[in-house]
Amino acid sequence: MEKHYTIGQFKKMSGLTARTLQYYDEIGILTAQRTEGGHRYYLESHVHTLQKIVSLKFLGFSLEETADFINKDSWNEKDSLIFQRDMMEKKREQLNDSIRLLNLAIEQIETGGALHTDIFISMINNVHMEKSHKRWFAAFMPEPRINALFDRLKSEQETIEKKSMHLFSRLKEAIGIDPTSSEVGKLVAELMEFAMEIVGDELPLLEQIPAADLEEDPWLFPYPFTPEEEQWLKQAVNHYMEKEGIQIGKN
């Protein structure tokens, strides 16, 4: 005589809840046998089917997709497997981005600094809107050069993000201090150097982009400083420029 499990035994074995088993029964993905009184019971074959179900769920398939797999017993069409893998890889990239950004914020707090929301937001945005930014830049640069620029930045993304976070935070905290002081001068010097590092050889082209265009779109390019803060920053940068005798537009 075949072993049979009540729903209570079955749920203990599988670790699923009774509700889940009832739901699987309801949608017909795991149809239980019934006693005369109407209680569910399960056989070894159900164990096997349920194995398949939880395994496929583990791979990230929906119950509907899972049902398809269960009905056919050879899984040799690689299309759905490849599709699924690609979906999961996209999700993983997403997670990598958010984990990296969360760590950035955590580190900033742990090193004793304050986390400035505007800075954080603009950095998140930078990652989130990458594709839109690429399209935007397409109006000023040929595509291969855009890609080269973005690829270079991406290869050092984490370093750049950490530097940005640190530098912008210190700048924000310096607001109010005399813009001509040597303390502020040092920060601005750092900022300029950092900006040069970012733009690299694309300086001439990027300089041509009118600053107004950038500020015109508050959605695509949220600014980490408020208008008053920016006012202060401009003073500081101007002072620095005059002292150094350089004439370059500031982004």
Partner DNA sequence: CTTGCACATCACGTAACGTGATGTTTTAGA
Partner DNA sequence: TCTAAAACATCACGTTACGTGATGTGCAAG
Residues that bind a copy of itself (CB under 8 A): 13-15, 44, 47-48, 51-52, 54-55, 58-60, 73-76, 78, 81-82, 84-85, 88-89, 91-92, 95-99, 101-103, 105-106, 109-110, 114-115, 117, 120-121, 124-125, 127-128, 132, 218-219, 222
By beta-carbon proximity to DNA, the closer residue of 15 and 245 is 15
Task: Confirm or reject binding of residue 57 to DNA (CB under 7 A).
Answer: yes
Task: Confirm or reject binding of residue 228 to DNA (CB under 7 A).
Answer: no
By beta-carbon proximity to a copy of itself, the closer residue of 19 and 72 is 72
User: Least distance from C-beta 33 to a copy of itself, angstroms?
Assistant: 17
The binder of DNA chosen from 1, 28, 64, 131 (CB under 7 A)? 64
Chain centroid to CA 75: how far?
Answer: 33
Q: How many CA atoms lie within 13 A of 95 on its CB side?
A: 6
Task: Confirm or reject binding of residue 98 to DNA (CB under 7 A).
Answer: no
Residue 62 binding target from DNA, a copy of itself, none, CB below 5 to 8 Å by type: DNA
Distance CA 203, CA 153 (A): 14
Taking contact as CB under 7 A, which single stretch among the options 36-44, 136-144, 217-225, 234-242 is the one that binds DNA?
36-44
Task: Confirm or reject binding of residue 94 to DNA (CB under 7 A).
Answer: no
Residue 196 binding target from a copy of itself, DNA, none, CB below 5 to 8 Å by type: none
CB 123 within 8 A of CB 164: yes
The binder of DNA chosen from 19, 72, 78, 131 (CB under 7 A)? 19
The binder of DNA chosen from 15, 28, 38, 204 (CB under 7 A)? 38
Task: Confirm or reject binding of residue 3 to DNA (CB under 7 A).
Answer: no
Residues that bind DNA (CB under 7 A): 6-9, 17-20, 22-23, 32, 35-40, 57, 62-64
